[in-house]
Amino acid sequence: MREMTVSGLTIDPFTNSPIMILKDVESDKAVPIWIGLLEATAIASELENIKFSRPMTHDLLKNIMDLMKTQITKVEVCDLRDNTYFALIYLVRDGQEITIDARPSDAIALALRTKAPIFVADVVIQKARRVDLSAKEAITTEDAKKWTEILESLDPEDFGKYKM
């Protein structure tokens, strides 16, 4: 199992789908995970420190967990089967560890909000198409500006247009 950070988001030029890039903290290797637009918005808003007037779903869940004195100790992208990634959220409440199944994008959106570490299982790293970031940085300042523009221009009506 390797600790990773979210190095950023980019767009798949073939499918126009958002891709979250997880980068190994000890090397230049990275794992791309294709995610939906809503999940990308949740992750990008936290990476860019964009706050909305009302809590979004992941912010709401974090607030509920805080009130219930439940902490996320880590999240783990634990499997990759049939081009679908699987994740676990590790929680502690009253000294008891609880593990919950989650989509990686949701688990990571919560991890970013709670400052919990993100791990990727070795089996996932072996199965995933790896990206070498030492040759060329995958996320550029231009990409970050594009995401900021996308987030700032979103209208609540836009969310009904995308099927997940």
Which CATH number does the domain housing residue 86 bear? 3.10.690.10
Q: What is the rounded distance in angstroms from the CA atom of residue 39 to the CA atom of residue 105?
A: 6
Q: Which residue has tokens 């089996």?
A: 123
What amino acid is encoded at 106 in this protein?
Answer: D
Residue 109 corresponds to which tokens in the numbers above? Answer: 């959106």
**Residue 161: what are its φ and ψ, rounded to 5°?**
-80, -15
Amino acid 48: pLDDT: 86
**How many folded domains does the chain comprise?**
1
In angstroms, the CA 35 to CA 43 distance is 10
Contact 96, 31 (CB under 8 A): no
pLDDT of residue 153: 65
Spatial separation of the C-alpha atoms in residues 1 and 60, rounded to whole Å? 29
- pTM, 2 dp: 0.76
The pLDDT of residue 86 is 95
Tell me the residue range of the domain where 35 lies: 2-161
Taking the alpha carbons at both ends of the chain, their separation in whole angstroms is 29
- d(CA 132, CA 130) in angstroms, rounded, equals 7
Give the residue ranges of DSSP H helices in 24-140: 37-47, 57-67, 104-114, 122-127
pLDDT in tens, the chain (164 residues): 999 999 989 888 888 889 999 999 998 888 899 998 888 988 998 888 888 888 888 999 999 999 999 999 999 999 998 888 999 999 999 999 999 999 999 999 999 999 999 999 988 888 886 444 444 444 555 666 666 666 666 665 555 544 44
